[in-house]
Amino acid sequence: MKISVVTPTRNRPEYLESMLEALSKQTYLPAEVIVVDASHDVTYHSHLKASFPLLNLILLTASPSVCRQRNMGIQKASCDWILLCDDDIGLPPDYLEKLVFYAKEHPDCGALAGRLLQLE
């Protein structure tokens, strides 16, 4: 089972980096991580690619609108399963593994929700 992670962000590179760090430590890595960035300055994108080589990072730029940013990421996603993950979310290392396990155990399931920790 492959999972695309879609993350909207705007002017919060430190939050985004922390979230990507949590994704890179997952026991079940996502197939792709689509970051839709509405920041004023996106020059840090090359740093992100270099910092997280285990993640298939797709970095897009967009106008500010969290809903439009999510929709843009969803349209670009190549996987059947999509995790909408904001940039200020902390994921435990087994989060994706648990989602995958549940989805496999319940093949009629079409959507999942779980508990997430907001870093603030």
The pLDDT confidence band at residue 90, using thresholds 50, 70 and 90, is confident
The pLDDT confidence band at residue 3, using thresholds 50, 70 and 90, is very high
Backbone angles phi, psi at 111, to 5 degrees: -155, 150
Q: Residue 26 carries which side chain, given as an amino acid letter? A: Q
**Would you say the pTM of this structure is higher than 0.85?**
yes
- List the one residue out of 48, 51, 70, 74 whose CA is nearest residue 59: 48
CA distance 44 to 81: 28
What is the reported pLDDT for 103?
A: 93
What is the reported pLDDT for 114?
A: 74
Residue 120: CB atoms within 10 Å? 6
